[in-house]
Amino acid sequence: MAVNRRASRLLKSIPQYTRMGRHMRAVLEHGTPRKWINLALVESERKLRRIEVKGRPYILFLDPCNFCNLRCPLCPTGMEDLGRKQTMMSFDCFKRYLDPHLPYLFEVNVHNWGESLLNPDVFRMIAYAQLNNVGTNMSSNLVIAQEHHLDGLLDAGLEHLTVSLDGTDQASYEKYRVRGKFDRVIENLSSLIRKRNARGLKTPFVEWQYIVMKHNEDNVDEAERLAVSLGVDRIRFIPVGLPFESRNRRILADEWFPTKFEGRDKGADTPQTFGQADRPAPCYYLYRSMVVNADGGVSPCCIVYKDRRDFDHMEAHETIDIPGIWNNEKYRSARALYTDKDWDGRKKTICDGCDIFQRHPSKLPKSARQPKPAVSAVDNVTTGVAGSVKGPTTVLNVSHRPSPERQAP
């Protein structure tokens, strides 16, 4: 539709929309009346703090692979602390898990806790989703990519590529991206953009994602210059997050948090709320997005990683019943945290200890809206990470002014 395309172009031209713009484009470009009605239902059920919902998730994470070639020190996969079987998802599983979602889905993220390009089936997965009118996003370190990977992404019709590149030279890059090769990433980035443009393709939209940390915060201006010369569609600066279950947050914060940037408080007790702090509504993961890991485990969100925190498992169901999973005891228990209704069946889940619920009175049931003293993040092992890339993020303000937290699932 011409009007949709115009709206998409407009959104693309407003840089601060960043991730929200991407979601809006997916809603417009992959929408159908059924999907839009479901979207309205999901959002109203969230506003109404419904425990049992009729709406279906409209964003999906399907992780093709949770192995990785890099060893990023704050990533559970990189630290070999994932707490989950490491495996590749087969194309058949991908299809089986995706199919029941198709009537409601605007976009699927083909990444979660690994390097998706290690799975040779990832191109088929992307093509299958696109063929079925679902937008695709992938985040990659782009280190191992060779010509056939880049061509594969273009042929498959990937819509959005996030390239994780946190530095402007080998030294500033590899302190976090351990085992990474800066020159390889730059070469791959520019080759992908060249190939895409030569073919006259509009996608993938290529986003350079730069996690701002203590050791690379002085390089952001240089990164912006480099981004222009490479011709990436957007450079996005995001705050560094800590692993959800890290016990030594004070030490990690001291080591990694930037000192000159607003948007990421370097205090050890910083509540980590994924851009949801100021929203008087329940955590949006519990209404909008389902996260399916490479082993088929269903996590409540893309920030939690250990399998013992899972809410369900795809392989526990002979026929995949999305409404059944979406309203199982754990999802209902987690949603019930945000209501003032009594519900006897409530069980404890990982969400009970998450900063989103713990720290913000507006998130609590009205009857209990007394500001809680902040639980020490260091002592409370179940409190969460800051906006992981995979989840909502604060867009750091490169001009060093405070930046409001933005919502983006």
Ligand X SMILES: C[S@@+](CC[C@H](N)C(=O)[O-])C[C@H]1O[C@@H](n2cnc3c(N)ncnc32)[C@H](O)[C@@H]1O
CA-to-CA distance for 244 and 249, rounded, in angstroms? Answer: 10
Of the pair 28, 145, the CB lying nearest ligand SF4 is at: 145
Interface residue with ligand SF4 among 154, 211, 213, 286 (CB under 6 A) is 286
Q: How far is the CB of 52 from ligand X (least distance, A)?
A: 31
Among 45, 63, 115, 159, binds ligand SF4 (CB under 6 A): 115
Number of residues near ligand SF4 (by CB under 6 A): 26
Token pair listed for 46: 């969230």
Cβ proximity to ligand SF4, 261 vs 274, nearer residue: 274
Residue closer to ligand X by CB (options 307, 352) is: 307
**Interaction between residue 390 and ligand X (CB under 6 A):** yes
Segment near ligand SF4 (CB under 6 A); pick from 218-226, 314-322, 346-354, 394-402: 346-354
Q: Which is nearer to ligand X, 115 or 159 (CB)?
A: 115
227 binds ligand SF4 (CB under 6 A): no
Residue 200 burial (CB < 10 Å; 0-12/13-18/19+)?
A: exposed
Q: Which of 28, 72, 126, 230 binds ligand SF4 (CB under 6 A)?
A: 72
Where do the DSSP E strands lie in 78-204?
Answer: 107-109, 135-140, 160-164
The contact mask relative to ligand X for 126-155 (x = CB under 6 A, - = no) is -------------xxx--------------
**Residue 312 CB, nearest distance to ligand SF4 (Å)?**
13
User: In whole angstroms, what is the distance from residue 405 CA to residue 92 CA?
Assistant: 39
Greatest Cα pair distance, the chain, in angstroms, is 61
Partner interacting with residue 351 (select from ligand X, ligand SF4, none; CB below 5-8 Å by kind): ligand SF4
In the bound state with ligand SF4, the residue whose beta carbon lies nearer, of 179 and 225, is: 179
226-233 long-range contacts, Cβ below 8 Å, gap at least 24?
A: 226/168, 226/186, 230/186, 230/189, 230/190, 230/193, 231/190, 231/193, 231/197, 232/163, 232/189, 232/193, 232/206, 232/207, 232/208, 233/205, 233/206, 233/207
Q: How far apart are CA 176 and CA 160, in angstroms?
A: 23
Using the contact rule CB under 6 A, the part of the chain among 22-30, 72-80, 120-128, 229-237 near ligand SF4 is 72-80
For residues 89 and 294, the answer to whether their CB atoms sit within 8 Å is yes
Q: Which does 88 bind (CB under 5 to 8 A by kind): ligand SF4, ligand X, none?
A: none
> Which of 21, 64, 263, 300 forms a contact with ligand SF4 (CB under 6 A)?
300
Q: What is the smallest separation between the CB atom of 206 and ligand X, expressed in angstroms?
A: 13
* Of residues 340, 244, 247, 246, the one with CA closest to residue 300: 244
Q: φ, ψ for residue 108 (rounded to 5)?
A: -125, 135
- Contacting residues toward ligand X, per CB under 6 A: 68, 72, 74-75, 111, 113, 115, 139-141, 162, 164, 209, 211, 240-241, 388-390
